[in-house]
């Protein structure tokens, strides 16, 4: 992975279990431009093991003097978020990827509805800078567990006009049907949060006959851990094992089998690889249902096998 060297210049904790990190370039004058919804991949060296974690950029895309990311410390974290919270300090050096965007704004839409659950608010932070600057027609629906867990909530209350929040700990949830019914033609909805929220939005838009391409989603709670499995590469006649805390892509890279990739979160499809045999456990949001059912293509950045798999590599 081609990386940019950055220095952590400011770490703060705006909400319970959430830390934000400002990353300034070490060798570059400015960091590369990015579009709203972009994320970067942070390379983490954890006890000699390399891990890659994707985090949305939350700062204003017009200011690339630094990047800013927000990281939720997951309760069951065995690597990335725990490391970011406990080990990364001001002044530390990190290696990050160039920005990647698999969750773009549709600029032809005449209205944008953003639905976020928990840390799923992060990609919308850069969206909102854009929407406010260009006076886009938008509404933001943000659900979080308790008042202390809503990162950006105070700023949204001060700065946004069409902001609606829901405290799920008080049993107040987003009524997705109520939000989406009777929306004007040309409305696009974007959802980021737990799978249940994404499923709810997909189910509702299907029921309301929304066009599929007006519905955008990004999964943030992907946990790369899974079952250990074995793989064989048919063309190069190599084999390997994927331990439970690594992805197939990471293991292939360790073996110097470099395949193209983009987002590393199962959204862009660049790493799609043909499968000759074996049962696939799909964890991506890129392949459609028939591609998943066919069991002959895998996104090794997130998907796994149930036991053994033979790849066309």
Partner 1 sequence: MLFNRSVPIYKTLKPQSDAFRHIVIINYDKTNWLKYSRIFRAQKKVTILIFQNTKDFGDLCESFCNEDIEIRLHAALESLLEDVVMILNNSRIGDYYYLSGDESFMWNIVDIAQKYGIEDEFINLSKYGNKKNVYCSHCHAINICDDCNILNCNTCGSKLLVRKHFSRSLGAYLGVFSHDMQR
Q: Which is nearer to partner 1, 73 or 188 (CB)?
A: 188
Residue 91 burial (10 A CB sphere; 0-12, 13-18, 19+):
exposed
Tokens standing for residue 278:
């074996």
DSSP per-residue string spanning 64-124 = -S-EEEEEE--TT-SSHHHHHHHT--TT-EEEEPPPB-SS---TT-SEEEEEEEGGGGHHH
The residue (of 205 and 283) whose beta carbon lies closer to partner 1 is: 205
| Least distance between partner 1 and beta carbon 121 (Å) | 25
Given the complex with partner 1, which of 47 and 108 has the nearer CB atom?
108
Closer residue to partner 1 (CB): 40 or 115: 115
What CA–CA distance (Å, rounded) separates 10 from 24?
9
Q: How far is the CB of 213 from partner 1 (least distance, A)?
A: 8
Q: How far is the CB of 27 from partner 1 (least distance, A)?
A: 43
Q: How far is the CB of 175 from partner 1 (least distance, A)?
A: 17
By beta-carbon proximity to partner 1, the closer residue of 211 and 260 is 211
Which residue, 87 or 208, is less far from partner 1 as judged by CB? 208
Closest approach of partner 1 to the CB of residue 5, in Å: 43
Nearest residue (CB) to partner 1, 185 versus 237: 185
- Residue 91 or 184 having the CB closest to partner 1: 184
Whichever of 83 and 210 has its CB closer to partner 1, that residue is: 210
Closest CA to 133 of 211, 62, 201: 62
Instruction: Please state the closest distance from residue 185 (CB atom) to partner 1, in A.
Output: 4
Least distance to partner 1, CB of residue 123, Å: 22
Contact by Cβ (8 Å): 278, 248: no
Q: How far is the CB of 39 from partner 1 (least distance, A)?
A: 27
C-beta of residue 152 within 8 angstroms of C-beta of residue 14: yes
- Which residues are at the interface with partner 1 (CB under 8 A)? 108-111, 182-187, 208-211, 213-214
Residues 313/293/261/250 CA torsion (nearest 10 deg) = -70
The per-residue b/e assignment along 110-139, b for 16 or more CB within 10 angstroms, e otherwise, is: eebbbbbbbbbbbbbbbbbbbbeeeebebb
Please answer whether residues 119 and 220 qualify as being in contact, where contact means their C-beta atoms are separated by less than 8 angstroms.
yes
- Spatial distance between the Cα atoms of 10 and 90, rounded to a whole number of angstroms: 6
Q: Are strands 138-144 and 39-46 parallel, antiparallel or unpaired?
A: unpaired
Which residue, among 80, 97, 109, 71, has the nearest Cα to 213 in the 3D structure? 109
Q: How near is the Cβ of 122 to partner 1 at its closest, in Å?
A: 27
Closest alpha carbon to 36 in 87, 107, 96: 107
């Amino acid at each position: 992975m081609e990386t940019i060297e950055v220095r952590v210049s400011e770490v703060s904790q705006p909400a319970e279990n959430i830390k934000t990190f400002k990353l300034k370039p070490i060798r570059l004058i400015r960091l590369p431009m990015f579009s709203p919804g972009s994320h970067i991949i942070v390379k983490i060296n954890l006890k000699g093991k390399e891990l890659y974690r994707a985090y949305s950029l939350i700062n204003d895309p017009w200011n690339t003097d630094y990047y800013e990311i927000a990281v939720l410390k997951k309760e069951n974290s065995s690597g990335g978020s725990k490391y970011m919270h406990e080990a990364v300090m001001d002044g530390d050096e990190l290696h990050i990827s160039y920005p990647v965007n698999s969750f773009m704004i549709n600029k032809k839409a005449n209205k944008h509805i953003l639905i976020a659950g928990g840390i799923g608010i992060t990609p919308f932070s850069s969206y909102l800078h854009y929407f406010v600057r260009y006076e886009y027609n938008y509404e933001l629906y943000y659900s979080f567990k308790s008042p202390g867990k809503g990162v950006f909530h105070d700023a949204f209350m001060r700065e946004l006009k069409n902001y609606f929040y829901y405290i799920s700990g008080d049993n107040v949830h987003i009524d997705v049907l109520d939000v989406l019914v009777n929306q004007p033609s040309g409305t696009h909805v974007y959802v980021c949060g737990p799978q249940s929220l994404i499923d709810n939005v997909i189910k509702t838009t299907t029921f309301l006959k929304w066009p599929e391409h007006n519905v955008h989603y990004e999964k943030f709670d992907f946990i790369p851990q899974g079952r250990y499995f074995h793989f064989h590469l048919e063309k190069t006649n190599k084999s390997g094992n994927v331990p439970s805390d690594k992805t197939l892509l990471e293991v292939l890279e360790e073996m110097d089998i470099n395949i193209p990739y983009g987002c590393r979160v199962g959204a862009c499809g660049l790493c799609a690889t043909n499968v000759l045999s074996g049962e696939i456990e799909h964890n991506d949001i890129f392949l459609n249902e028939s591609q998943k059912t066919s069991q002959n293509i895998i996104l090794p950045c997130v998907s796994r096998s149930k036991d053994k798999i033979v790849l066309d590599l």
